Amino acid sequence: MPTTLNPYLGFRENAREAMTFYQSVFGGDLALSTFGEFHASEDPAEADKIMHGMLTASNGLVLMGADTPNGMDLATGSSISVSLSGDDEAELRGYWEKLSADGGTVTVPLEPAPWGDIFGMCTDRFGTAWLVNVNNPQAAPAS
């Protein structure tokens, strides 16, 4: 199996809600494991928190996420955005509409970009930043 790189989102205590939301956006199978299932926390209040969540969509997209235990700092040292790109404009616009709705914020509208593709940026209601790029094969630079 080749090495893969998957986004892994960190939450304080709403990973279940967030990962269920992402399943409504991307479809697919969602597997959630709690700290309690693995006896991974001594704090009974954390038993239902998500230790590991993995969403696997039928089109190959994989998104992971978990809650951060109270005894650990929620990572804030790096800024990261999740980027979606491809040729299927209807699919990508559908993702965009769901991610930017219901408490999401549009940073850059999804519209033609100077490089010829359709591009937009938004932050969903859970604070995850998304970049969406619809490829325009006619915009490719001549070689």
Question: In three state form, how does the secondary structure of 96-137 look?
Answer: HHHHHCCCCEEEEEEEECCCCCEEEEEECCCCCEEEEEECCH
Return the residue matching tokens 């209807």.
90
Let me know whether 86 and 125 are in one domain. Answer: yes
pLDDT attached to residue 44: 86
Kindly state whether residue 1 falls inside one of the protein's structural domains: no
Tell whether 39 and 89 lie within a shared domain: no
Query: Is 123 part of any domain?
Result: yes
Residue 124 has pLDDT above 60, yes or no: yes
Token pair recorded at residue 125: 């209601």
In a domain, 40, yes or no: yes
Which helix (H) or strand (E) segment is 24 a member of? helix 15-26
Global pTM value: 0.88
Same domain, 50 and 92: no
Is the domain of 58 the same as that of 105?
A: no
Same domain assignment for residues 16 and 45: yes
Domain that holds residue 30: 8-67
Considering the domain architecture, whether residues 86 and 61 belong to the same structural domain is answered as no
Sheet containing 50-56: order of strands: 8-11, 62-67, 50-56, 29-34
Is 143 inside a domain boundary?
Answer: no
Lookup result for tokens 């001549």: 142
Write the CATH number for 132: 3.10.180.10
Determine, yes or no, domain membership for 2. Answer: no
Cα separation of 21 and 28, whole Å? Answer: 12
pLDDT in tens, 90-105: 999 999 999 999 999 9
Whether residue 48 sits in one domain with residue 95: no
Q: How many domains does the chain have?
A: 2
Distance, CA of 110 to CA of 112 (rounded, Å): 7
Say yes or no: 45 and 21 in one domain.
Answer: yes
17 and 63 inside one domain = yes
Separation of alpha carbons 81 and 50, rounded Å: 22
Asked whether residue 121 is domain-assigned, the answer is yes
Q: 19 with 61, same domain?
A: yes
Q: Phi, psi at residue 60, to the nearest 5°? A: 100, -10
46-88 pLDDT, tens digit per residue, is 899 999 999 999 999 999 999 988 878 776 666 789 999 999 9
Q: What is the DSSP letter of 54?
A: E
Alpha carbons 129 and 122: distance in angstroms, whole number:
6
